[in-house]
């Protein structure tokens, strides 16, 4: 039985924590769709196209990982591409309440779609795109926390915003 799982997120930018989840999911599921979600409540540093391109580059060696983008309800998107489940990463206990609430709402909206949680590697437990952007903005060393090409793109993007 083929299993297609969707890993939605803003990925602004993708971090090594995100990649940890993607790589591990690729070892478990037949197909992983990493999909950039347009969140109207956030103002991203990178455009949707830039985020998709960075994800494609980061996942280029993972044959069963595809990259896409969407807006609207995640459950409708998952159903529209023939997905069976939503993948979410958990970093710490503090993530659980919000993720539980979202998973419960998704189950209410479409009870045929499951939510699967993967814990990130503990070395990335503190990592979020927001923390990365803030540290990079103030010229902190984030080079070990994101792919090399993301590091350079983020530095270039933030230098034009100062």
For residue 71, say whether it is annotated as part of any ligand binding site. no
For residue 154, say whether it is annotated as part of any ligand binding site. no
- The CA radius of gyration of the chain, in Å to the nearest whole number, is 15
For residue 38, say whether it is annotated as part of any ligand binding site. no
For residue 7, say whether it is annotated as part of any ligand binding site. no
3-state secondary structure of 7: strand
In the set 47, 60, 71, 129, the catalytic residue is: 129
Closest CA to 21 of 110, 94, 125, 113: 125
In the set 38, 42, 60, 123, the catalytic residue is: 42
Is 57 annotated as catalytic?
no
For residue 130, say whether it is annotated as part of any ligand binding site. yes
Phi first, then psi, for residue 32 (nearest 5°) are -120, 125
In the set 18, 51, 133, 153, the catalytic residue is: 18
Beta bridge partners of 69: 36
For residue 42, say whether it is annotated as part of any ligand binding site. yes
For residue 109, say whether it is annotated as part of any ligand binding site. no
Is 152 annotated as catalytic?
no
In the set 35, 51, 91, 133, the catalytic residue is: 91
**In Å, how far are 1, 23, 39, 101 from 146, measured between CA atoms?**
34, 14, 22, 28
**In Å, how far are 3, 57, 74, 77, 86 from 44, measured between CA atoms?**
31, 19, 19, 21, 22
The owner of tokens 């060393």 is: 141
Is 91 annotated as catalytic?
yes
For residue 69, say whether it is annotated as part of any ligand binding site. no
For residue 18, say whether it is annotated as part of any ligand binding site. yes
Is 107 annotated as catalytic?
no
Positions at the binding site for substrate? 10, 42, 74, 88
Positions at the binding site? 10-11, 18, 42, 74, 88-91, 99, 124-130
Positions at the binding site for ATP? 10-11, 18, 89-91, 99, 124-130
Query: Annotated active-site positions, please?
Result: 18, 42, 91, 129
């Amino acid at each position: 039985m083929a299993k297609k799982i969707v890993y939605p997120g803003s990925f602004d930018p993708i971090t090594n924590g995100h990649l940890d989840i993607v790589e591990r999911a690729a070892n478990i599921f037949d197909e992983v769709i990493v999909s950039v979600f347009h969140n109207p409540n956030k103002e991203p540093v990178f455009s949707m196209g830039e985020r998709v391109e960075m994800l494609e580059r980061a996942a280029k060696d993972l044959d069963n990982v595809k990259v896409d983008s969407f807006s609207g309800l995640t459950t409708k998107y998952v159903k529209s591409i023939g997905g069976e489940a939503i993948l979410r990463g958990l970093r710490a206990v503090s993530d659980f309440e919000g993720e539980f609430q979202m998973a419960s709402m998704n189950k209410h909206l479409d009870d045929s779609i499951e939510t699967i949680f993967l814990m990130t590697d503990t070395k990335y437990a503190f990592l979020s795109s927001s923390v990365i952007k803030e540290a990079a903005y103030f010229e902190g060393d984030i080079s070990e926390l994101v792919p090399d090409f993301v590091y350079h793109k983020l530095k270039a993007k933030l230098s034009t915003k100062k």
